[in-house]
Amino acid sequence: MVAFLPRLRRFTYALTGDFASADDLVQDACVRALAHRDQWQPGTKFESWMFRIAQNLWIDKKRSAKSRGVHQDIDDMVEPMGEDGRVVTDQRLTLVAVAKAMQTLSEDQRVLLTLVCVDGASYKEAAETLNLPIGTVMSRLARARQALHGLLMPEAVDAGLVKENRRG
């Protein structure tokens, strides 16, 4: 499980958009997984099981925060790194731009986008993880990516994210 932490952390970062929330989610997911490890079915993918746990916890937390009226702007959550100079800062801005744009997507879209486009799952694997028909995965994913691309275009041009798009 320790070896899986970087991947789980990338998954939770993509969902939450900041390291502090991502790490909290990783911690909660690990604690829950270990406490309920007897529920993991040998022969099924451990990663998918962990992602589902993290996803459910994230949705619970979001709904709980919403009911309490808690809101934090992502711009306030990001701490510039600085110590490694301009290159690091530029990379961080790129990551932040994407993370910020992803926050505007629906929960379902964000999870799907993270599984397929960030973690590299195939459509079939994502469908199994989310217990969705593969057709739903594909149509939902296409809509999410169109929305994200539309949001990113102005920032992505500056950040160099969409060079391939410009070529097209």
Partner 1 sequence: MGNVSDEMLTLAMVVADGEASLADERKLQAALVANPALARQVAAFTATGRRGLGRVFDEVMAAPVPDHLERTVMTAPMARMNGQSAQMITTLGARWRDLMASWQAPALVFGAAALAFIAGGLLLGRSDYIGPQASQVAALGSFAPSAGLTEALTKVATGAAQKLDTKSGVLDVRMVETFRNQSGAPCREFEAQAATGPAQFGVACHETNGWQLKAVFEGPVRTNLMVPVGAGDYSDMLDGLVGKMRKEALSAADEAKLIGGGW
Does the footprint of partner 1 cover residue 2 (CB under 8 A)? Answer: yes
Instruction: Tell the smallest beta-carbon distance from residue 44 to partner 1 (Å).
Output: 13
Does the footprint of partner 1 cover residue 82 (CB under 8 A)? Answer: no
Residue of the chain from 47, 78, 92, 128 that contacts partner 1 (CB under 8 A): 92
User: Could you say which DSSP state residue 104 is in?
Assistant: T
Query: Between 27 and 70, whose beta carbon lies closer to partner 1?
Result: 27
Does the footprint of partner 1 cover residue 117 (CB under 8 A)? Answer: yes
Contact string 7-46 vs partner 1 (x = CB under 8 A):
x-xx--xx----x--xx--xx--xx--xxxxx-------x
DSSP character string of 35-77: HTGGGS-TTS-HHHHHHHHHHHHHHHHHHHHHHHT----HHHH
Residue of the chain from 53, 57, 98, 105 that contacts partner 1 (CB under 8 A): 98
CA 51 to chain centre: 10
Helix and strand totals (H; E) in the chain: 9, 0
Does the footprint of partner 1 cover residue 83 (CB under 8 A)? Answer: no
Q: Is the dihedral of CA 165, 10, 108, 127 positive or negative?
A: positive
